[in-house]
């Protein structure tokens, strides 16, 4: 068998010197390391060329006179708040730089002197994907002492989950344990960032200004972000769109245990240049049956006056349009328990059983707790203890290239019962009841952390059971419209094939047309043994690993509580067994994929 030297092969894209350096760099690597390197290089080839033009961390030491604003965010709220701090820093005379934790080398933390750390919590107290490296580092034996660091933490969370703001609390404790000095108490924000008032931002920056030298103000950005706005109101999703419903279609079968609907809206996409991966938020009124039940429960007249946000309103209007009454949160439980009359509620809160509390929060609405309490609040007390009604965000399931001037949503309708009384969800039941021609407002929520690779020939593996498949539908429609040549592999799961195979005919069309290379299905209730998407992943372990070695990007969308964790565990197992790696090295492999933008998750 003759041997051909790469140096003698014509028409290679590398020079002889480059080939020599490549050979030297890869000398002695194991087969699994070579596979990893091949995937890494393929991933670099798939990154947008524009990335080279992004403004990166200045070469000067971050030390001395610079406040570093770090943020970790799954949905974008953390980024918007961090931008607000940056925007205000110049006026406060504080030189500041904005850094995503996805771009931050955690080993350089020991070089920092002042840090505002903004981080959200997701699922069961989990950090967002871009903060995982810092979470691991703070508790690792390799973590350096941080005696020189002054910091504060802004924790974002959702108090309808039992481990509210847990990531921020963990990071706060981790920094303090390494010797860092907390100069401003931790701020905790519920659902939105309203707790970070302009007064809080000003006080925080004044504190840091007093601790830092005062060079000429300078702001350095490490990523391309829209200009930061000076007020909180402007950091909220800014694109409000008037939409008209074109189609409201049920995707699930008549015998399905759940109802999933496909909605198509007409809107001016010239004002809304959304991308696959983005979401649309809907601020819907609360279900009329829940409002009526609360009013009847305490014999309140609908016109009972209450004060809300400094203005007088009727109780019915407040319950319908302003207050969160279908999602229960821990602060509401604490406030109702303080009124007395419900010993079981007090015992639950004092037990510190996070799992039991989580189940209670998921299974009850505000009206249920009122029914179980012997002591009722006054109308004003009820208004004061409920948090503001939040918008609900749904992943966009369409591509502007494929369906111009339209946006599609995939909505699982929440329609439970408690003691034979209906317990509908807020936005999902509202959307399910709309008929074509209905007009409503949508708000675009961008998600730059969930994006297709720019390279049209990059392979993609997508995992999206249930309604988690919505943005993956948008991905496939986008790639089809672009004429992308990269292979696409979809893992989809639901309960039954007959009743719950969402978008079945569309996947079959993509398979026929070649847009979809492979389709793996997991229907958990169709066989004697339940099968989920993570099981299908393990069954395709060798092929999944081969795709990753060839530069494939991974996308996971859906439930954060169980699915995302089970899929992550399956990926770790695949990488460890196929790559011959120990568990820690397999985790490092996935971390490296995240850092390359090749492992992205949109989980909730």
Residues across the chain: 604
* Amino acid 33: pLDDT: 56
**Which CATH code is given to the segment(s) 460-603?**
3.40.50.80
Decide whether 66-223 matches 460-603 in CATH topology: yes
* CATH of the domain spanning 288-385: 1.20.990.10
Among candidates 598, 601, 603, which has minimal Cα distance to 41? 598
Query: Highest mean pLDDT range out of 45-49, 96-100, 505-509?
Result: 505-509
Question: Which CATH code fits 239-283+391-445?
Answer: 2.40.30.10
Predicted model pTM: 0.81
- Residue 291 pLDDT: 98
Contact assessment for residue 263 and residue 411, using Cβ atoms and an 8 Å cutoff: yes
pLDDT of res. 218: 42
- The β-bridge partners of 89 are none
pLDDT at residue 442 is higher than 50: yes
Q: What is the pLDDT of residues 326-369, one digit of tens each?
A: 999 988 988 988 887 778 888 998 888 888 998 999 999 999 99
Q: Are the beta carbons of 164 and 120 closer than 8 angstroms?
A: no
By C-alpha distance, which of 590, 561, 559, 591 is closest to 575? 590
DSSP letters for 316-346 = HHHHHHTB--SS--HHHHHHHHHT-S-HHHH
Residues β-bridged to residue 355: none
Q: Delimit the domains of the chain by residue range.
A: 66-223, 239-283+391-445, 288-385, 460-603
Count Cβ neighbours within 10 Å for each residue of 153-178 and write b for 16 or more, e otherwise.
bbbbbbbbbbbbbbbbbbbbebbeeb
Determine phi and psi for 545, rounding to 5 degrees: -65, -40
Q: For the residues of 145-185, what is the DSSP string, one character each? A: P-TT-EEEEEEEE-TTSSSTTHHHHHHHHHHHHTT-EE-S-
The per-residue pLDDT for 221 is 45
What are the start-end ranges of the H helices in 65-123? 77-89
Q: Count other C-beta atoms under 10 Å from residue 564's C-beta.
A: 24
CA torsion angle for 222, 225, 226, 231 (degrees, to 10)? -70
More confident of the two residues 91 and 369: 369
d(CA 465, CA 470): 9
Fold held by 66-223? Rossmann fold (3.40.50)
Residue 524 confidence (pLDDT): 97
Q: What is the pLDDT of residue 26?
A: 59
- The secondary element (H helix, E strand) that includes residue 457 is none
């Amino acid at each position: 068998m003759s041997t051909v030297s790469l140096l003698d092969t014509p028409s290679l894209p590398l020079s002889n010197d480059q080939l020599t350096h490549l050979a030297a760099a890869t000398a002695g690597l194991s087969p699994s390391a070579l596979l990893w390197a091949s995937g890494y290089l393929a991933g670099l080839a798939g990154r947008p060329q524009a990335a080279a033009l992004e403004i990166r961390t200045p070469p000067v030491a971050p030390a001395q006179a610079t406040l570093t604003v770090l943020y970790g965010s799954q949905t974008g709220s953390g980024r918007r708040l961090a931008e607000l701090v940056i925007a205000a820093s110049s006026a406060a005379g504080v030189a500041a730089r904005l850094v995503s934790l996805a771009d931050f080398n955690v080993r350089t933390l020991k070089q920092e002197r002042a840090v505002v750390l903004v981080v959200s919590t997701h699922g069961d107290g989990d950090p967002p994907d871009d903060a995982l490296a810092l979470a691991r580092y703070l508790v690792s034996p390799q973590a350096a002492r941080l005696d020189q660091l002054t910091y504060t933490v802004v924790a974002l969370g959702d108090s309808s989950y039992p481990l509210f703001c847990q990531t921020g609390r963990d990071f706060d404790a981790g920094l303090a344990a390494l010797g860092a000095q907390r100069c401003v108490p931790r701020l905790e924000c519920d659902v939105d960032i309203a707790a970070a008032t302009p007064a809080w931002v000003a006080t925080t920056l004044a504190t840091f200004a007093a601790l830092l030298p005062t060079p000429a103000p300078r702001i350095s950005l490490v990523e391309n972000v829209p200009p930061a706005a000076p007020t909180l109101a402007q950091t909220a999703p800014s694109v409000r769109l008037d939409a008209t419903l074109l189609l409201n279609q049920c995707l699930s079968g008549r015998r399905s245990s759940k109802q999933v609907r496909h909605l198509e809206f007409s809107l001016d996409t010239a004002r809304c240049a959304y991308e696959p991966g983005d979401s649309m938020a809907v601020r819907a009124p609360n279900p009329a049956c829940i409002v009526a039940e609360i009013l009847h429960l305490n014999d309140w007249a609908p016109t009972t006056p209450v004060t809300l946000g400094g203005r007088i309103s009727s109780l019915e209007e407040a319950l319908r349009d302003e207050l969160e009454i279908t999602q229960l949160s821990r602060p509401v439980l604490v406030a109702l328990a303080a009124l007395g009359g419900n010993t079981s509620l007090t015992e639950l809160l004092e037990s510190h059983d996070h799992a039991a509390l989580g189940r209670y929060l998921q299974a009850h609405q505000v009206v249920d707790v009122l029914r179980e309490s012997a002591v009722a609040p006054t109308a004003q007390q009820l208004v004061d203890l409920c948090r503001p009604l939040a918008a609900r965000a749904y992943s966009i399931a369409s591509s502007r290239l494929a369906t111009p001037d339209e946006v599609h949503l995939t909505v699982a309708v929440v329609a439970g019962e408690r003691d034979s009384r209906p317990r509908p969800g807020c936005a999902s039941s509202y959307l399910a009841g709309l008929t074509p021609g209905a007009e409503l407002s949508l708000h675009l929520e961008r998600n730059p952390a969930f994006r297709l690779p720019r390279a049209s020939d990059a392979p993609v593996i997508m995992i999206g059971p249930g309604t988690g498949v919505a943005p993956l539908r948008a991905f496939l429609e986008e790639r089809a419209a672009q004429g992308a040549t990269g292979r696409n592999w979809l893992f989809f799961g639901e309960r039954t094939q007959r009743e719950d195979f969402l978008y079945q005919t569309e996947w079959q069309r993509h398979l026929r047309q070649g847009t979809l290379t492979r389709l793996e299905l997991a229907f958990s209730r169709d066989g004697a043994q339940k099968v989920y998407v993570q099981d299908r992943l393990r069954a395709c372990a060798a092929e999944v690993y081969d795709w990753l070695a060839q530069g494939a990007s991974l996308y996971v969308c859906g439930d954060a509580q169980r699915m995302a964790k089970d899929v992550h565990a399956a990926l770790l197992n695949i990488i460890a067994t196929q790559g011959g790696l120990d568990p820690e090295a397999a985790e490092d492999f996935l971390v490296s994929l995240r850092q390359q933008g090749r492992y992205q998750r949109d989980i909730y």
